[in-house]
Structure 1
Amino acid sequence: MGLMARNPVRHNCAQPHQCSLDVRMQVMARSPLTKELGPQQHRELDQHLTSWAWAAGDPILLAGEQTQGSYMVASGRARITRDTIDGREITVDIAAPGDVIGPLHTHSSPATDSAWAIETTCALYLPAEALAEVVDAYPQLALAIMRMQQDQLARSRERETAQATSTVEQRVAAALQHLDAKLGQIRQDGSSLLQVRLRRNDVAGMAGTTVESASRAMARMKKTGVIDSGREWIAITNHQALADLVAGL
């Protein structure tokens, strides 16, 4: 609790929150960070965690601030943003339950990205010094951290490569495919609804393009039956066609 109070921004908007033991166990069972641990190890790890909640629009983490730990999203959604050289803020990802927000370090370190609650969001907070302790106790956790860091690096490199080699439509399709894998909910008609309030500039940021270009690409996808969309919602209606767009077919 004392660690949280060191942050002059977060302590004004984060509220202590009571997640049930069942919810905490479910989150740890699905998170890439902890899913390799067994139920008993999850209960032991739970002793190091505290629960916090934010209202829609609240900052969970701000780029550049010194962080004392990391967060595992238990419920809700968070927008991960990054500041560009020219001062713009772009969305680079959407965090969902099981995702980890903040640096996974065993010491205090600066955050590279900001995180904003899209809706009421609850997360489990793991202090950096506690992470150092549990990494020693559970080698699987150290391996999971390495895999997550490698995945983040690979995704960053793929994003840079796509900027130079892929069309806007390919990049927008890839962003939607990524969100579908993480947030898609299959409906009775076979379409997949992305369970998040998604703005056009979120898609544009993840695709590395302008809002206007992303909107045009999505309009073409909607016209050809690849997606359906409305105000802050998107559904994938033809998964094969979306995959073909990503592949440039």
Structure 2
Amino acid sequence: MNSNSAISEQNALQFYRQYSANALLPELDWQKVFGQSELNDVHLRALNTLYQAAVPLALKVFHELNFDVFAPAAYHPQGLGLFDKLAQQEEQFLQVLENESAHLDHGTRHQMWSMLLRGGAVLVFKAWLGHVKSGNSELDKTQFDELSDLLFIKTRPEQLAQRLKVNSQAALTHIFLMHENDVFLDHFNSLETAAMFVDLGVYDAAFLSLRDDRVAEYLKAKGYVTQEQIDDLQCALNPLYCDSLMPKQDCLA
């Protein structure tokens, strides 16, 4: 790429950032972004509402702290300032979500609640970033873990349910989203949230414990599962105890 092309591309990215920070967001085709997932109108409304609320606020905070999401290595820790600033903005984010979701039906608000607890704000931001960088309906997966640390909402599940006027025990589905070969919305903002999704029947306690040792210790301490049950499932799924068949994952933000 010559210097003129590089300058032109950078100018285009800054244009998108300026307009998106002012809530003038490009329209995203969520079904194309998550082509292997069957999205209905409720899922689309939930994703769009999160998108309209999360991206402008995140860009505003990143700009104030000179955090360049377009840089090849965007993650440059600046002490605790970046995390503290984003934590302070979570209340503002919740207020925006309350306002934006007030006219929506309960099913859509419930999907928003479920998505947020499992990384929904991270996902819509990465979809925006993928679109403005490539022009395509895709996720940008560079620095994904670092942005997850910054954008994963920390509010407790019941508190978030109250803010969004959601019945957390409603017998509604909790969608997982597929992009290429990756599954998203499969992480939690806290151990409490992980246990709640076991209570809701979305996850089996023993299976979830096999994925993450911290989750396993928490669920065992709370009486959800025993080590014997975890070992029995491990043996059933992997009778030869091949490490590569059951890799550990970090299920927490």
Tell me the TM-score range normalised by the shorter chain.
under 0.3
Q: Which protein has the bigger strand share?
A: 1
Structure in which a larger fraction of residues adopt helix: 2
> TM-score by structure 2 length?
0.27
Give TM-score scaled by structure 1 length.
0.27
